[in-house]
């Protein structure tokens, strides 16, 4: 019995020794660890970028590459935590996607498994113009008339602004239409042309321009009569024309039937309205001028003496007398541009036509 027990113990000890020997022969491999992370702009291909510039509102894509202890590498862009040291200037909208929010400097890094990448210095600069739009895109203007153009720039940060005074205006046929530095287009010759605007290397849409002859002042045009040396007179405006320019204070309108004026509706004004009409022309830069005022009685008398009936001469509405800026007693002088007669002095609250004059 003792022999059996002794044999059993020997067998157990033998087997234990074998297992110990086997366990000593197992090859235990060391753990693979992340040693370094390099971040760079995805399009640059330059490992470990250290500095770059981006525009406000633009996005910049970065890539993170991890290098391991076994000499392998792996793209970690989507697996890393991306950080900006000032989110008010630039921040990550998703892994590796940085957006510039405001002007300034930031530092960005990526981190994974306790390892932090190289630091990239980023400067966020002014947004750039991405598109330029001019409105209206089609202009129909009478010869001698004006139309304000509006140029709107859209920037890389999504904002937009009126840049009408900053662009370079370029008409294709300058003899047909000209554009001032503020965007005021003037029809000079009956023809068609196009206009474009340029800013910071960006070209606007093309504006089609047609300049036509103003043959009826009852239509949507105003007769601007150059009597010589650049002195301009306007007829009393039709309802259609003044409405198309945003209107001006008035006392309603009267109808001409073609005997003492072109067929159509024409506004009538008290004296204060008439004076304000010229201010309206100034605000609209009619004919490119900003010094419109009510004509004096002598100016309108001289206009009639030289040209006669202004309906016959220029197609003006003349059935009603015209206000003047010349005061008489408690009211103001007025004159007929149909027969040249000076009317009785009228109180300022009566209703008449109005002609504005501009002297260069």
Total domains in the fold of the chain? 3
CATH number at residue 324: 3.10.100.10
Is residue 25, in this structure, part of any structural domain at all? no
User: Using alpha carbons only, what angle is made at residue 359 by residues 354 and 360, rounded to the nearest 5 degrees?
Assistant: 145
Dist. CA 167–CA 205, nearest whole Å: 13
Structure tokens at 248: 């001006």
Q: Which helix or strand (DSSP H or E) is residue 356 part of?
A: strand 356-358
State which of 156, 188, 212 marks the end of a domain.
212
State which of 109, 125, 141 marks the end of a domain.
125
Structure tokens at 25: 């022969």
Same domain, 163 and 242: no
Q: How confident is the model at residue 86 (pLDDT cuts 50, 70, 90)?
A: very high
Dist. CA 282–CA 294, nearest whole Å: 12
Q: According to the per-residue pLDDT averaged within each range, which of 10-14, 29-33, 311-315, 322-326 is highest? A: 322-326
Same domain, 152 and 194: yes
Same domain, 118 and 143: no
**Residue 21: per-residue pLDDT:** 47
SS3 168: strand
Dist. CA 132–CA 1, nearest whole Å: 108
Same domain, 279 and 251: yes
> Between 267 and 4, whose confidence is greater?
267
Same domain, 243 and 344: yes
Residues 206 and 193: beta-carbon distance below 8 Å: no
Same domain, 237 and 145: no
Is residue 313, in this structure, part of any structural domain at all? yes
Same domain, 301 and 321: yes
Domain that holds residue 57: 34-125
Q: Does the pLDDT of residue 23 top 50, yes or no?
A: no
State which of 212, 246, 279 marks the end of a domain.
212
**Residue 22: per-residue pLDDT:** 45
CATH number at residue 205: 2.60.40.1080
Q: Which residues pair with 137 in a beta bridge?
A: none
Is residue 83, in this structure, part of any structural domain at all? yes
Mean pLDDT within 42-65 = 77
What end-to-end distance do the CA atoms of the chain give, in Å? Answer: 140
User: Is the pTM above the cut of 0.75?
Assistant: no
């Amino acid at each position: 019995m003792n022999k059996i027990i002794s044999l059993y113990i020997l067998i157990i000890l033998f087997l234990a020794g074998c297992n110990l020997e086997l366990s000593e022969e197992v090859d235990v491999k060391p753990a693979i660890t992340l040693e370094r992370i390099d971040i760079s702009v995805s399009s640059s291909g330059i490992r470990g970028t250290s500095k770059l510039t981006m525009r406000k509102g633009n996005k910049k894509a970065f890539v993170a590459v991890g290098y391991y202890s076994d000499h392998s590498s792996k793209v970690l862009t989507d697996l890393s935590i991306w950080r900006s040291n000032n989110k008010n200037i630039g921040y990550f909208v998703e892994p590796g996607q940085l957006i510039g929010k405001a002007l300034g400097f930031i530092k960005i890094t990526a981190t994974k498994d306790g390892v932090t990448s190289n630091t990239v210095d980023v400067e966020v600069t002014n947004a750039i113009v991405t598109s330029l739009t001019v409105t209206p895109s089609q202009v129909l203007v009478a010869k001698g008339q004006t139309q304000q153009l509006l140029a709107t720039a859209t920037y890389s940060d999504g904002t937009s602004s009126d840049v009408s005074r900053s662009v370079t205006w370029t008409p294709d046929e300058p003899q047909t239409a000209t554009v001032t530095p503020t965007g005021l287009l003037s029809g000079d010759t009956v023809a068609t042309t196009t206009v474009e605007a340029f800013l910071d290397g960006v070209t606007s849409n093309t504006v089609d321009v047609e300049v036509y002859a103003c043959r009826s002042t009852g239509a949507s045009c105003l007769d601007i009569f150059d009597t010589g040396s650049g002195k301009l007179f306007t007829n009393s405006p039709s309802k259609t024309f003044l409405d198309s320019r945003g209107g001006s204070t008035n006392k309603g309108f009267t109808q001409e039937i073609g005997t003492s004026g072109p067929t159509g509706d024409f506004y009538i004004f008290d004296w204060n309205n008439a004076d304000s009409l010229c201010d309206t022309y100034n605000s609209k830069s009619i004919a490119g001028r900003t010094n419109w005022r009510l004509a004096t009685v002598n100016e309108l008398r001289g206009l009639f003496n030289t040209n006669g009936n202004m309906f016959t001469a220029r197609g003006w509405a003349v059935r009603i007398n015209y206000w003047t800026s010349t005061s008489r007693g408690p009211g103001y002088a007025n004159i007929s541009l149909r027969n040249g007669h000076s009317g009785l002095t009228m109180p300022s609250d009566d209703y008449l036509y109005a002609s504005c004059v501009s002297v260069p």
